[in-house]
Amino acid sequence: MARPRKTEPRDRQFNLSLTAAEYEGIARRAEALGMRPVHFGRAVLLDNPRSSRGAPLTQSDNGWRLIQLQLSRLGNNLNQLVRRLHQTGEALPPDLEPLLKDIRGLIASVRK
């Protein structure tokens, strides 16, 4: 099934130059949240500044929506993996259970 079209596509770009140190700092902060730097940057630019400083996210924050989107994508990938394993009869990979434990922890922290 094809991905549905966005009602408001992102068709504008905002480019800026960073020093290596600035970029590395952004990349580290994004990685700590499990995000790509571009998504983290968008959340910081468009969101209430408190979400980028470690304050709790609320459901109206862009950061919250990005977390939900990433968890949805992760769930989709896991669903495809498990479906494939069931079709082929292969055993679950041994490293899947620790990954699921981490994902459950993320979901629990988002629900707080």
Overall pTM > 0.85: no
Cβ(35)–Cβ(70) below 8 Å? yes
Give the model's confidence band at 48: pLDDT under 50 very low, under 70 low, under 90 confident, else very high. very low
- Give the whole-angstrom CA distance, residue 47 versus residue 61: 6
Q: What is the mean pLDDT of residues 65-92?
A: 85
Which tops the pLDDT comparison, 26 or 60?
A: 26
Cβ(98)–Cβ(83) below 8 Å? no
**Statement: residue 13 has pLDDT above 80:** yes
**Statement: residue 20 has pLDDT above 70:** yes
Q: What is the mean pLDDT of residues 18-41?
A: 88
Cβ(106)–Cβ(34) below 8 Å? yes
